[in-house]
Amino acid sequence: MTPTTETMVGIGGAAESTDMVLNIGPQHPSTHGVLRLRLVLDGERIEHAEPVIGYMHRGAEKLFEARDYRQIIMLANRHDWLSAFSNELGVVLAVERMLGMEVPTRAVWTRTLLAELNRVLNHLMFLGSYPLELGGITPVFYAFTEREVLQNVMEEVSGGRMHYMFNRVGGLKEDLPAGWASRARAAVAGVRSRMDRFDDLVLGNGIFRGRTRGVGALAPEAVHAYGVSGPIARGSGVDFDLRRDEPYLAYGELQDTLRVVTRQEGDCLARFEVLLEQTHVALDLADACLDRLAELPPGPINQRLPKVLKAPEGHTYAWTENPLGINGYYLVSKGEKTPYRLKLRSASYNNIQALVELLPGTLVADMVAILGSMFFVVGDIDK
């Protein structure tokens, strides 16, 4: 009998029982900045995901302690660079609450109007960039066209295109330019008339729906556990919006116009649908604010402040429904002209932690679709 030889061909390091560790980022197009994802893979399936943050940390919370109450507005303006007006707003609301200050009615309604225009600008960015990450290039051109229309009116009123620096403690920097309201109304109407492009190009696209429906479903229990908020939470059926549930600014008088958009599926498609429909609601709220401003008599837009502004000793907490979710501002004062402590609770920081729950069990090919649907800004994580 001829002897046989048995040969074992190795595939390297007992690969069948060895997990692969894959780093996505910190420099990667799908991470919206310097975010790193450390993935443990079993073949093409993700077994464990860890968001690694801190590559962009600029120490804003520490810098708050060395700047006076006028200067900290600039620092807070920048962490979510798509929501600059809303970032400023939270800080001045906290300081005004410490001071017990009443803001003129015109300033309240103008702030509400500009906050909703800023919300539309934020959402348009993601309405264009998310399809781009899944291979659809056309929507981003339409999104930036509409952003330019609204940026023009925001730039006219504030002088800034991204960092408006228009809020002040006690109101706003200055009154609206002559004729601005009619130009803003025309811009809002123009953007609204062209929003159906996103329904046709994106939601009507079979490839987009195939890549997003049933992918990355986030359970309501995980939303509560991780403190997820904004469009991502509402896409999972968590019906909570500070503008309705704890109204600030003029939202208490806008309840007939304000609709809180929710979906029950909790997947990537649901989050995108919430974002798109929420953009329509923001445009409606902007129109309602313009109507109310047209009825108001002429009046001041801010309060006169002392040369050196000092908040009384104590602490307070203000929170706002920012475009990406809930932003909170915990202000502690020792009676000086600078905050003793100003702790910022940003929406993206909490939202991105939910990736620990979302990514395990999914395919690497779906990772970009899930990551893009979280609608985050890295500066809002590393504040």
- Each residue's pLDDT tens digit, 10-36: 444 444 556 788 888 787 666 667 888
Average pLDDT of the chain to the nearest whole number = 91
Question: Residue 13 has what pLDDT?
Answer: 46
What confidence tier does 311 reach under pLDDT thresholds 50, 70, 90? very high
Residue 207 pLDDT > 60 = yes
- CA dist 349 → 117, 264, 362 (Å): 23, 23, 22
- 3-state DSSP call for residue 327? strand
**Mean pLDDT value across residues 112-116:** 97
- Each residue's pLDDT tens digit, 353-373: 999 999 999 999 899 899 999
- CA dist 56 → 30, 51, 60, 70, 108 (Å): 16, 14, 11, 25, 34
Radius of gyration of the chain (CA): 23
Residue 299 pLDDT > 50 = yes
Lowest mean pLDDT among 27-31, 185-189, 301-305, 347-351: 27-31
> For residues 289 and 112, is the Cβ–Cβ distance under 8 A?
yes
% residues pLDDT > 90 (the chain): 78
- Residue 28: how many CB atoms within 10 A of its CB? 16
Residue 2 pLDDT > 90 = no
Reading the block at residue 291, the tokens are 């109507």
Residue predicted with more confidence, 194 or 18? 194
Question: Residue 325 has what pLDDT?
Answer: 95
Residue 156 pLDDT > 60 = yes
Question: Residue 28 has what pLDDT?
Answer: 64
% residues pLDDT > 70 (the chain): 94
**Mean pLDDT value across residues 228-256:** 96
**Mean pLDDT value across residues 367-381:** 91
> For residues 368 and 41, is the Cβ–Cβ distance under 8 A?
no
> For residues 309 and 69, is the Cβ–Cβ distance under 8 A?
yes
CA distance 313 to 217: 45
**Mean pLDDT value across residues 262-277:** 95
- 3-state DSSP call for residue 24? strand
Residue 8 pLDDT > 80 = no
**Mean pLDDT value across residues 325-354:** 94
Reading the block at residue 225, the tokens are 């556990």
pTM assigned to the model? 0.91
Residue 167 pLDDT > 50 = yes
What confidence tier does 1 reach under pLDDT thresholds 50, 70, 90? low
**Mean pLDDT value across residues 105-120:** 97
Lowest mean pLDDT among 11-25, 137-151, 254-268: 11-25
CA distance 375 to 367: 14
What confidence tier does 7 reach under pLDDT thresholds 50, 70, 90? very low
Question: Residue 14 has what pLDDT?
Answer: 45
Measured in degrees and rounded to the nearest 5, phi and psi for residue 108 equal -60, -50
